[in-house]
Amino acid sequence: MKVDDALIDNLAHLARLEFSADEKAGLRNDLQSMIVFVEKLNELNTEGVKPLQHMSNAVNVFREDEVKGSATRQEALQNAPVADDAFFKVPKVIARQPS
Amino acid sequence: MRTAVFRPVNIRPNQVHLRFIVEMDIKHKYEAVIGLEVHAQLATESKLFCGDSVAFGAAPNTHVSPITLGHPGTLPKTNRKAVEYAIKIGLACHCEIERYNYFARKNYFYPDLPKGYQVSQHTTPICKGGYVTIKTEQGQRDILLNRIHMEEDAGKSIHDMDEAYTCVDYNRAGTALVEIVTDPVMHTADEAYQYITELRRLVRWTGICDGNMEEGSLRCDANVSIRLKGETKLGTKVEVKNLNSMRNVKKAIEYEIDRMIGIVEVGGTITQQTRSFDASNDTTFAIRDKEEANDYRYFAEPDLAPFLITDDFIQSVENALPTLPQALMQKFQQQLGLTEYDAAQLCLEKSIADYFEAVIVLTDNYKAAANWINGPVKQYLNAQKLTLEELTLTPGQLAELIKLTDDGKVNFSVASSKLMPLLIQDSTKTALGLATELNLLQVSDNGELAAWVNEVIAKMPDKVAEYKKGKKGLLGLFVGEVKKASKGKADPKVVTALLEQKLNS
């Protein structure tokens, strides 16, 4: 599989990242070598082997329905880039309706 | 290097709403195809993967933990009760229960999604297939379900509080939901209305969700398309969101069907869109056209262990399932001889049916019990704006009221308008005790009644003469006068007999 600029741009968009032209060239090379590595692994015949979805063999790890463990609001908001004393704040998601 | 890019969505362009008036004969050429996606918030105490409370209406960002906020190093754990509830509604809808379950991450960025992904069941929905039986004017029909899966809810964005920012409250983020998805099998707005009504009753009946559409505990999106009758291929669909009442589900679909037919009839093409409902004028408006195909990059959630559901567990959930409303209606009609209407009224809410069942343990007069509950009891609750759970009239007190009227000791009107409200105020009183105390017991003692009867006859010689000449209709007047003289305590049956005896002699 060939890594091209369109693929880099799409992945960058999905990850909400922006790259300069120089950075993209470097990424293209890195990503290409990763893909070559995985394609090498793909040569192995895994017929009849179930995909490994979880690293642990644990199943049925449940908790009971109990209220506990909430943070205080102050703790919750302390790492937010923008907040007031009640809300996390993010750039406007909805454009204002023209009045 | 990392930047957050929020694309403006939900832009509502200035637009004129046009109502499409579609002639019935044109309408009959088309068939609508409707599928509903319903999100039901599970009635657990805590969230799906952590112990934050899910209580509605808390101060913003007070029901949040490091797990809800997606902090690094946190480890979510599945709420056992949520799994039980998902199975419960699955069994109530006749679904097949998936034995091997795991969660998946659905990856996308949106400010109300703190982790950058939603944990959902992509590949292995906990319930598959199944159906919900509805009744319309056309008769009874099973609406086939595609799946019911578990997932976590997102937070809430508030757009109009701050000039420069969108404010986000993560209290709701991580709340346990089930998404109940039908196949595209409904054809009219009324079918969709009956379906959401029945589904709401089922989630409330089984206790897995409070069904409150205004508070968003039950949310409905409708997928609507039209095609010429006889066509088998599905038309371009539109998804209508923001249907926060059962009425809105119906109105939005009615509008959407007419809108689509209107477009096709003038040679236009329907655009695949997401639309929203405007309840102020019962129309829908476009909120976004179909964007480039979303790439959610689902993969198994590595932080959550898969879970296996055993036959024993399913059996235990099934054993705890109450008799479902449609089966109970059948039972009330077939075993107790109630009319379909009475049975339906009693089965509108589980609390009503439970109350009725508690009363009929104490009386054999099932019809009277149904009449009392569907009549004076409901009128009282409506007038006081109370729910049946808040009613202090005990089933025992109601059974006594029924017995008092059956025995002719108190007439129905006195029992329902005087005794019932007083018994509600004092749940320690018995109906008989109170009737005695207030001197409301009907007198059927002949001596006392004869005195009142004689008094009335003596007082109205003209009427008596008319009666004797053949105006038999006057009997009612005499009975009324005797009741008046007795202050309502005279047993009308005995009075009538006494009057006839005396007047005809």
Mean confidence (pLDDT) of chain A: 90
Residues B359 and B260 in one domain: no
The distance in angstroms from the start CA to the end CA of chain A is: 51
Which secondary structure element, helix H or strand E, spans residue B275, and what is its range? strand B273-278
Q: Using CA coordinates, name the residue in chain B closest to A72.
A: B62
**A88 within 8 A of B157, measured Cβ to Cβ:** no
The answer to whether A95 contacts B11, with C-beta atoms less than 8 Å apart, is yes
The answer to whether B82 contacts A55, with C-beta atoms less than 8 Å apart, is no
Q: Using CA coordinates, name the residue in chain A closest to B68.
A: A70
Residues B37 and B96 in one domain: yes
Give the ipTM of the model, two decimals please: 0.89
CA distances from B330 to B201, B207, B334, B349 (A): 16, 21, 6, 15
Local structure of B169: helix, strand or coil: strand
**Distance, CA of A16 to CA of B343 (rounded, Å):** 57
Per-residue pLDDT reduced to its tens digit, B251-291: 999 999 999 999 999 999 999 999 999 989 999 999 887 66
Per-residue pLDDT reduced to its tens digit, B393-441: 999 999 999 999 998 888 888 899 889 998 998 888 888 888 888 888 8
Nearest to B399, CA basis, from B444, B443, B431, B437: B431
Domain boundaries, chain A: 5-41
**B179 within 8 A of B38, measured Cβ to Cβ:** yes
Residue whose tokens read 């609390």: B351
Is the pLDDT at B7 greater than 70? The verdict is no
Nearest to A82 among B59, B157, B165 (CB): B165
**B204 within 8 A of B352, measured Cβ to Cβ:** no
Q: Which residues of A touch B304 (CB under 8 A)?
A: 61
**Distance, CA of A45 to CA of B24 (rounded, Å):** 63
Chain B closest-CA separation from residue A42 CA (Å): 19
Structure tokens at B449: 């009644």
Q: Which residues of A touch B61 (CB under 8 A)?
A: 73, 76-77, 86-88
Kindly provide the b/e burial profile for residues B8-17, where b requires at least 16 CB atoms within 10 angstroms of the residue's own CB. eeeeeeeeee
The answer to whether A70 contacts B52, with C-beta atoms less than 8 Å apart, is yes
The answer to whether B45 contacts A65, with C-beta atoms less than 8 Å apart, is yes
Q: Using CA coordinates, name the residue in chain B closest to A12.
A: B2
Number of domains into which chain B is organized: 3
Mean pLDDT confidence for A34-45: 94
Chain A closest-CA separation from residue B337 CA (Å): 42
Nearest to B111 among A54, A69, A93 (CB): A93
Mean pLDDT confidence for B456-478: 86
- Taking domain A5-41, whether its CATH number is 1.10.20 is answered by yes
CATH number for the domain harbouring residue B452 = 1.10.10.410
**B414 within 8 A of B488, measured Cβ to Cβ:** yes
Taking the alpha carbons of A47, A53, A57, A60 in that order, is the dihedral positive or negative? negative
Where a domain ends, among B300, B318, B343? B300
Residues B408 and B453 in one domain: no
Chain B closest-CA separation from residue A6 CA (Å): 15
**Distance, CA of B106 to CA of B300 (rounded, Å):** 9
Owning domain of residue B359: 326-432
**Where is average pLDDT lowest: B16-25, B174-183, B286-295, B373-382?**
B16-25
Q: Classify strands B78-79 and A62-63 as parallel, antiparallel or unpaired.
A: parallel
Residues B18 and B166 in one domain: yes
Chain B closest-CA separation from residue A15 CA (Å): 8
Q: Classify strands B78-79 and B96-97 as parallel, antiparallel or unpaired.
A: unpaired
What is the pTM (predicted TM-score) of this model?
A: 0.85
Where a domain ends, among B282, B300, B318? B300
Chain A closest-CA separation from residue B190 CA (Å): 33
